[in-house]
Chains A and B, each alone.
Chain A
Amino acid sequence: MSPITKEKTNWFFACKVEDVPANGGVCIKYKDEQIALFHFARRGEWFASQNLCPHRRQMALSRGMIGAQQGEPKVACPFHKKTFSLADGRCLSDEHECAIKVYPVKLEEDRIYIGVGGGKETSAVPA
């Protein structure tokens, strides 16, 4: 996992750690956008992605089941179980499916921030 480039990223406060179920996801409202935030409690990492399922264009990824494929963190859309990498956003189950956008996440004490705009939009941070 590459380190986050802090300079250009615009961080916004998403929620507190306690608001996110361990090994699960929640949906964050950011202006007019919806961002899915996931807590991989077993590995102490956080990931964020768009909430929109690119397959059927529905706001649902945050309700998907998270897991890993050969160590790569992923989320399965609750609609049709297409899986997406949370490391780089590509669709793991269907090479013709669009990739999803992923965002960097950082923790400050019990507060979670998601980075939008600028920077490289892929990261994992230890909790």
Chain B
Amino acid sequence: MKIVVIGNGMVGFKFCRKLVERKVPGLELIVFGEERLPAYDRVHLSSYFDGKSTADLLLAPKNWYADNGVRLHLGDPVHHISPGLQTVTAKSGITESYDILVFATGSSAFVPPMPGTDQKGVFVYRTLDDLDHMKTAARKARRAAVIGGGLLGLEAAKSCMDLGIADTTIVEYAPRLMPRQIDQNGSAILQKQLETLGLKIRTNAYTTSILGDGTATGIGFEDGSTIPADMIVISAGIRPRDELAASAGLETGSRGGIVVNDRMQTTHANIYAIGECALYQHIIYGLVAPGYEMADIAIDNILGGNRTFGGFDMSTKLKLVGVDVASFGDPFPPPDSCRVIVFEDQVAGVYKRINMTDDGQYLLGGILIGDASAYNMLLQKVKNKMKITGKPEDELLGARSTGEAAAGVLGLPPDAMICSCESVSKAAICQAVEDGHETFNAVKKCTGASTSCGGCAPMVKDLITYTLKSQGKYVRNVLCEHFGYSRQELYDLIKIRSLHSYDEVLDNIGHGDGCEVCKPAVSSILASLWGDMILAKGNDTAQDSNDRYLANIQKGGTYSVVPRIPGGEITPQKLMAIGRIAEKYNLYTKITGGQRIDMFGAHVGDLPLIWEELIAEGFESGHAYGKALRTVKSCVGSTWCRFGLHDSVSYAIRVEERYRGLRAPHKIKSAVSGCIRECAEAQSKDFGIIATEKGWNLYVCGNGGSKPQHALLLAADLDSETCIRYIDRFLMFYIKTADPLTRTATWLNKMEGGIDYLRNVVVKDSLGIAGELEREMQALVDSYKCEWREVVETPALRKRFTHFVNAPEEKDPSVQFEQLREQKKAVEWK
């Protein structure tokens, strides 16, 4: 059988991939594509301006086609079809005969008929080529306007902003944004959110012309008003590419589209049409998921099957310029036929609407803006016509704990479609898990679920977890392929078996060679348990590279050196010593965010020399390289400050010296403020201490890293000794129970019972382990040694600090610096 496909977009490619997978004997598959590139991900087109490359967006590498016996002609559109002879002829003159012809020509951007659209500076938003042209033009553009406030228009507006055009206006003819998906109130909230991000929005605006004299200068409206713009993107809808089909005598719709039946056949039985060029029951489906479904159905019928297309749900969820927007089922049924519940929080920018049957028993559809976490479950309830149990408003507010959400997944019928893009049902996912595919990646690979838009990933993960649990399996968060244990289990096993080196741990309870995931995790556990010098007992190569060299590797491959400056207090003498050493070794210096001094640009071979001089001046390692306690910031405190209640500097030094270098699942920072003015910012730290009239308030689990989080009050008005005891218990409990690379904030967020539970353990000793935690911490405190000193004084360790093992005196010749403000800096990444 010889099949010719016209079009190599997302749907055309999906057709090829699914057909290839069927392994049809004697199949000849030929594809003609108009664009210069093979099929790419058009759904995520705007990520092209957000750092993704062409290669990132390709749906398959170029050689996929040849490897699978598909003949792909790129940049060669089909110009003529002869249904009688069953041949197609392309622009290049190539003529191919076919048994089956498939139209997957998609659609083009609709450019409204008005004057001025042919000028320089006017773009449509459709192909990577369009985006490349925009990229070039954006360099000179100051003001952009996007005509069309639908899905694609908003994406285009985001792209204009990503291209650096801060002054971007969206122009929409309808009274609201995304008129097909959301209602007036939802649009108002969305509009407000987008305006906060800097976008200008004009609704009720009917564009009549593009101004300019060969080069676009602005937009003219029906009411006579104008706005200036030197880059104009038209995103006013799509037009099905049906011209070739029409000229070949196939029936097309009055407003475009190749007419197909429910088997995707056109008016010629051996010619099919799928995707955005196909008109099914007077509807063009402008989404990728129904296109994929059409591809599936066409293949089934071509190969003698009998599946039919029954329309498709047009629900969508997306993130627009950082704002969640979703619409599912019927977003606005006629008002008298349904019951509507609306939740609106203008401050938070959240709008939710659900439409139910009059009796409140079934969900019809709805809109979610600002928070679309309930989308997947609500969509399932609509699609599967599931009866609403409990109060209808609970549906609206969504699952309020993850437990509920997951239980919801279990409640779905087996044939519920979890992944619409790839048509994967709940039953298929559960079956895959039962067959032994127990991780998300394994299920993804086995079923294809979550490989397209990825929107169903949370549900797939919930299904895996709950299927495993329902089988009575213990669901564990195992470290990696070399250890079948979680970090907490490893911690216990290493302690009970008294294992002291990475190799011992691997020999006793792991297998294989280890990797970059388990080595640092095990090393951190060993350091937290025994307090041995981290480079001893052959553990050096099991340390993360920064730990292995006791310094942070920076751009260019040189290292930075941060001596400990407890509480940020330093004598003029020591300041001068740092200055002198930095000058001698030609290092760039900077005060860090944590009240220390960082020296950059040290060659690996110079590290022991630099440390040696620092040690001689009374410094020690600041552990800036480790998942360890870094700094304890402090304000100036009662010794100098007119507001200070207690001596925060002395207390910060005491805390820092107690926990210096303490190895943990993640780096830890702390601060001590002398009064509630909080100049040390203690509430943004993993643990923070603030002076009160009666003592110290202890805050824990702040920071959060990329998702900043405030610390919570653990205990109030503590005396200095009690405060230290509570910190001992808190840190030790964290070290013993947190997963690798989990910050204290994340650890607390995941803890059942939250801060109340933590307070019970730390303050009330509800588990009866407080004494043990304190003893273990004390042992670590007692075993502290400066790691830099150990290297400086141990010839065997010191020998490792060279760039070339066979030319130890030579420095890396590829290291280069540039000048910046009278200091050196690393050269930019190439």
Contacts and interface: CB of A to CB of B under 8 A. Distances in A.
Q: Do A and B come from one complex?
A: yes
Interface of A: 14-15, 19-24, 26-29, 34, 37, 40, 42-43, 56-60, 63-71, 73-74, 76, 78-79, 81, 83, 95-96
Contact of B804 (A22, A27, A40, A81): A27
Interface stretch (B352-360, B514-522, B680-688): B514-522
* 10 interchain residue pairs of minimum CB distance: A67-B515, A78-B545, A24-B541, A76-B516, A68-B513, A26-B805, A29-B804, A65-B516, A29-B807, A23-B541
Given A29-B807, A58-B556, A68 B540 contact: no
A64 B545 contact: yes
Contacts of B392: none
Interface string B816-830: 000000000000011
Interface in B491-542: 503, 506, 512-516, 518-520, 538, 540-542
Contacts of B546: 78
Main SS class of interface, B: loop
7 contacts: A27-B804, A34-B804, A42-B503, A58-B555, A59-B815, A78-B553, A96-B53
A71 B514 CA distance: 10
A21 B515 contact: no
B56 to A, nearest CB: 6
Given A57-B829, A96-B53, A67 B804 contact: no
Contacts of A56: 555, 829-830
A96 B804 CA distance: 30
Nearest to A38: B541
B484 interface: no
Contacts of B196: none
Contacts, number: 104
Contacts of A19: 805-806
Contacts of A64: 516, 545
B519 A65 contact: yes
A21 B513 contact: no
Contacts of B518: 67
Contacts of B481: 69-70
B710 interface: no
Contact of B513 (A26, A40, A76): A40
A21 to B, nearest CB: 5
Interface of B: 53, 55-56, 61, 481-482, 503, 506, 512-516, 518-520, 538, 540-542, 544-546, 548-549, 553, 555-557, 800, 803-807, 810, 812, 814-815, 829-830
B545 A42 contact: no
Nearest to B542: A23
Given A14-B806, A28-B806, A29-B810, A59 B557 contact: yes
A63 B541 contact: no
A58 B807 CA distance: 19
A63 to B, nearest CB: 5
B814 A34 contact: yes
Contacts of A74: 515
A57 to B, nearest CB: 5
B814 A67 contact: no
B556 A43 contact: no
Given A59-B803, A78-B553, 11 more contacts: A20-B805, A21-B540, A22-B541, A24-B548, A57-B830, A59-B815, A69-B515, A71-B513, A78-B544, A78-B546, A79-B553
Nearest to A21: B541
Contacts of B503: 23, 42
A112 to B, nearest CB: 10
Interface centre among A19, A58, A81, A96 (most CB of B within 10 A): A58
Interface centre among B548, B805, B829 (most CB of A within 10 A): B805
Nearest to B548: A63
Given A29-B810, A57-B830, A68 B515 contact: yes
Contacts of B555: 56, 58
B534 to A, nearest CB: 14
B545 A65 contact: yes
Nearest to A60: B557
Nearest to B545: A78
B547 to A, nearest CB: 10
